[in-house]
Structure 1
Amino acid sequence: MFQPVPDPVAGSLALSALVAALPLLTLFALLGGLRWKAWQAGLASLLVALLVAVLAFGMPASQSLLAASEGAGFGLFPIIWIVLTAIWVFRLTELTGYDLLLRRAFGSVSPDHRVQAILIAFCFGALLEALAGFGTPVAVTAVMLIAVGLRPLKAAAVALVANTAPVAFGAIAVPITTLAKITGLDAADLASMAGRQTPVLAAIVPLVLVVMVDGRRGLRQAWLPALVGGLGFALTQYVTSNFLAYEITDILAAFVGALALVLLLRVWQPAQVLQDQAPEEGEPAAAGASAASAGGGGTTLTATEAESVTTAVSGRQALLAFAPYLVVVLLFTAVSFGPLKTFLADHSGWKLDWPGLQVAGSDGTPLAAATFNLNVFSAAGTTLLVAGVVTALVYRVRAAAAARALLDVVVQFRFTILTVVSVLALAYVMNFSGQTVTLGLALASTGGFFAFLSAVVGWIGVAVTGSDTSSNSLFGLLQVTAAEETHLSPYLLAAANTSGGVLGKMISPQNLAIAAAVVGMEGRESLLFRRVLGWSLLLLLLMCLLVLLQSTPVLGWMVVG
């Protein structure tokens, strides 16, 4: 059984960390610098990770390849399973023309793209993050933004940046629950501490979104809805995580944020409405796919009918346009609470020890990550599949046409599948060989300054794995250990891991591939990476400063315990 050590290179933690960083440096250099396609950068970086694991960290080649294979398996299920089914649901609206009605329905609230970005990407995306997580909000909201008229590149970038503040409490607060289990800290207190960090992001992110959509003019003309929606979400997130049930933090925050925004729009609209925008370099010429026939089995809107909804949308039309997403919310709510959740937890699928993979942790026990969870029945992708079936029935799409649409999605996004598989294989090799832990320990060795860097550790974890839950599993105990050595609050640093981690999600190659795929920009992930990298680093710096101040008497009163 292979047991990694943190300083395999000449017994030096610093040198080992520099070598461990090579796969990540390769990945980001190829994506952001040389502008390789994501699947090419992912495969090249995977090769570097394998070489580092074998040659520098002493991991047997067979174990390295087995770790990569489990990562690839996790990339296919549940990640790709979520992506494909989420896109399929939207394709059904395109087949029947209801994507046009969806655009008009949102336009009835506000035709302004800046406001729609807040309402869809931030508020509705937060609700999807609360119920599902694992890339679902990016996949769904990006195509919804295209449906209302945003350009593909902006739609993808906005969806990625919006999927930040809610992530710490995503999937019914699984990242918090996991962090508590890993560290042995109280889950409610961890949630309270995170709830005193992420609301700062929630108040700022909507302002960032309007800048992304329309630059300085957007901030000047649409700062009020951004502030109202952001503060409504932030205050609710704080109150719920600190004084109510932290598991429903994002659900309540999403509803309150959206409600505050809708109430504002009843009495206020931007002086100038932003709608049509010119294509940007490197993005598809069309902002969205046109309506197509459903193979004779659905209700297809003609050009005349599509034109008729440019002025008004009836209640029935609006209900049908929103039907797929209402079904998604209802189904995820049903499987997240009550008896159905209990039933699915008991009959979710199978847990399998990955054949031949034998890696031990620092305490000598086998790593739990070597167990593959094939939770077919409770997986978010399965819920989305059921939502797609229900949508096909509601829209009266023939089974053959619906199945053909799903097959077309698989074929179209084959390179996205390869990207996600290679990136998750990379993450598993780095994790099992000890590369990721070495990076975290190197940062933790900085002493008192680690209060500033603690959020960076979480950021690295999510950038590598694409998951705040995985980052907490990797680095949660490290944060607590560092807190003991530096005499800082373990709740502060543990919460910083999850709060900083959410800002790595937008640059994770896994999520970049998802966003690029759903807006028709496969192979151009590097363009999207450069678009969001600056925002990721800027917001990370803000979180680092917040945590640093919380470790001092300046904001020490905010710390739990």
Structure 2
Amino acid sequence: MTWTQEYLPLGNLALSTLAAAIPIIVIFYLLAIRRAPGQIAGIAAMITAFLVAVLVYKMPFTTALTSTIMGIAYGIFPIFWIVITAIFIYNMTVETGKFDIIKNSIATITDDRRLQALLIAFAFGAFLEGAAGFGTPVAISAGMLVGLGFNPLYAAGLCLIANTAPVAFGGIGIPIIVAGQVTGIDTMKISQMVGRQLPFLSAIIPIWLIVLMSGWKSAMEVLPACLIAGISFAVVQFFSSNYLGPELPDILSSLAAILCLTLFLKTWKPATTWRFPGEEKSSTTAATRPSYSTGELVTAWGPFIILTVMVILWGLKPIKALLEAPTLSIYVAGLHNAVIQVAPIAKVPTAMAAVYKLNWLSAAGTALFIASILSALLLGVGPGQFFRIFGKTFKQLTKPLITIPAVLGLAYIMNYSGMSSSLGLFLAGTGSFFPFFSAWLGWLGVFLTGSDTSANALFGNLQSVTAQQVGVDPVLTVAANSSGGVTGKMISPQSIAVATAATGLVGKEGDLFSFTVMHSLVLAVIIGIMTYLQAYVLAWMIP
């Protein structure tokens, strides 16, 4: 038995869009206004979406229930699997005392919190995004900043905002590759177009972070370092996306930023060493920190070196293909090919697949878990201590284990019911202003799904079809879906849940949402204006 999506269940687009927006309004209200814990907001929004799907969109009850359960399953694996394994590795370094060595070794580069944020939140976080994506960079880099002594709210917020720069090319370029598959547009062209949008954002994100963190006057003290980090990242991002393809921009850009910034800081220091207001001043400085042997440094950094190597190996195509071999593809009964997408979302009536892929070996979380075993051997952690720390980590993450699956359940029911498509069609109906709103369509997709990849799969074809209708090159709007989407990542409930789990802020999801939401909106406006200008004034920039 099949069911065909209806995008105007209330007879007109405005009312249907309002109905589809109810779950989003609920989660915005609970997080931003009531400052409710993430698990409460997530569950409330998921239940609301289920009711709207069944009562307004007339989705069969069992189909709606099955799609929600499928989303919950994806929230547990692979998303939560990444979070728990990433934080487990961090916890092992803390329990064994090695994180103190890591902190001090970073401090030998700089004691300044502003510069530490550039190195870890912006540069190292981008490297992890490019290698793995799907929550890994925020989980690792935010946890590291808290370990260094950062205010947890700032650690989480800074890492979420810093993650704006690399998201479109995350996970070895998978968002761009998916956009090409969905739309039939040459992947290289989409990569080139995104590479002519995001570098402008990447160049300003470092200074944006530091102004947010310490104010304008303080940011001016480290302006040279911000420019070094942002411009080196942006230049390599432009070059690699335009001439090499979508797979390597994040890896190469982040390495360029780390290298340039580290070399620069060996010869330049800010006039003052900045710390958070109220933070106790350390009795030691970069010059008086304890010195460590090469062996001690390698051992302390070893878990993160192993993590990085494993993530890179898992992303290499030949190895990934081998690891994918034992993947279990479970066709979800009652949902697989049971929901039919129709125009204008699909070019022709198309049955939506519902295949739960249990990629237990190729998942990024598995790479991290293997890294944890190797790290335990390196750190001298025995089996008993290994499982004790893992159990402690699991207990630490019990609330995110509710929040993340609930948010994925919300995303899946909105996708399969057609609610997301109603919202997309509303934005697509803006005529000649569509290039501006195409960025917001990507923003909406990432907010709903927590993934630029998923947003491109959800709205990529709609972007292409609408662009042709309004006389704009579809390469531009499909790229804008990805570029605009990166600005929604920082407020996606899924990302918020990962960040709070990594920084000990579970229950404070509303505070973190409020911390990032204005930055998300302003950056989305910037991408929207840029896309509009490229459509009508700077069309020569379109490949």
Please tell me the TM-score bracket, short chain as reference. over 0.9
Match of 1:489?
Answer: 473
Match of 2:182?
Answer: 182
**Map of 1:397-436 to 2, 5 A cutoff?**
397-436=381-420
Cα distance in 1 between the residues matched to 2:378 and 2:397: 26
1:353 aligns with 2:331: yes
Among candidates 301, 304, 322, match of residue 301 of structure 2: 322
Whether the 8 Å contact between 1:150 and 1:277 is mirrored in structure 2 is: no
Gaps of 5+ in 1: 280-285, 288-306
Residue 338 of structure 1: how far off its partner (Å)? 5.4
Match of 1:341?
Answer: 320
Residues 157-213 of structure 1: CA deviation (Å, up to 9, x unaligned): 111111111010000100000000000000001100000011111111111111232
Match of 1:548?
Answer: 532
**Map of 1:148-297 to 2, 5 A cutoff?**
148-275=148-275, 277-278=277-278
Residues 103-141 of structure 1: CA deviation (Å, up to 9, x unaligned): 111111111111111111111111111110000000000
> Which AA in structure 1 matches 2:533?
L
Whether the 8 Å contact between 1:102 and 1:147 is mirrored in structure 2 is: no
Residue 276 of structure 1: how far off its partner (Å)? 5.4
Whether the 8 Å contact between 2:179 and 2:456 is mirrored in structure 1 is: yes
Among candidates 409, 416, 423, match of residue 439 of structure 1: 423
What is the TM-score with the length of structure 2 in the denominator? 0.95
Whether the 8 Å contact between 1:114 and 1:218 is mirrored in structure 2 is: no
Cα distance in 1 between the residues matched to 2:365 and 2:308: 13
Among candidates 439, 444, 454, match of residue 455 of structure 1: 439
The alpha-carbon distance between structure 1 residues 544 and 415, as it changes in their structure 2 partners (threshold 3 A), is same
Whether the 8 Å contact between 1:203 and 1:231 is mirrored in structure 2 is: yes
Residue 32 of structure 1: how far off its partner (Å)? 0.2
Cα distance in 1 between the residues matched to 2:525 and 2:295: 47
Residues 269-314 of structure 1: CA deviation (Å, up to 9, x unaligned): 11101235437xxxxxx99xxxxxxxxxxxxxxxxxxx99833333
Secondary structure, in 3 states, of the residue corresponding to 2:357?
strand
**Map of 1:301-316 to 2, 5 A cutoff?**
310-316=289-295
**Map of 1:457-476 to 2, 5 A cutoff?**
457-476=441-460
Residue 151 of structure 1: how far off its partner (Å)? 1.3
Whether the 8 Å contact between 1:138 and 1:159 is mirrored in structure 2 is: yes
Whether the 8 Å contact between 1:87 and 1:139 is mirrored in structure 2 is: yes
> Which AA in structure 2 matches 1:57?
Y
Secondary structure, in 3 states, of the residue corresponding to 2:270?
coil
Whether the 8 Å contact between 1:104 and 1:313 is mirrored in structure 2 is: no
What is the TM-score with the length of structure 1 in the denominator? 0.92
The alpha-carbon distance between structure 1 residues 122 and 157, as it changes in their structure 2 partners (threshold 3 A), is same
Question: RMSD over aligned Cα, in angstroms?
Answer: 1.8
Cα distance in 1 between the residues matched to 2:96 and 2:361: 28
Residue 243 of structure 1: how far off its partner (Å)? 1.1
> Which AA in structure 2 matches 1:470?
S
Gaps of 5+ in 2: 343-347
1:525 aligns with 2:509: yes
Residues 481-531 of structure 1: CA deviation (Å, up to 9, x unaligned): 011100001000000000000111110111101111111111110000000
Percent sequence identity is 40
Count matched residues.
533
> Which AA in structure 1 matches 2:308?
V
Cα distance in 1 between the residues matched to 2:52 and 2:322: 43
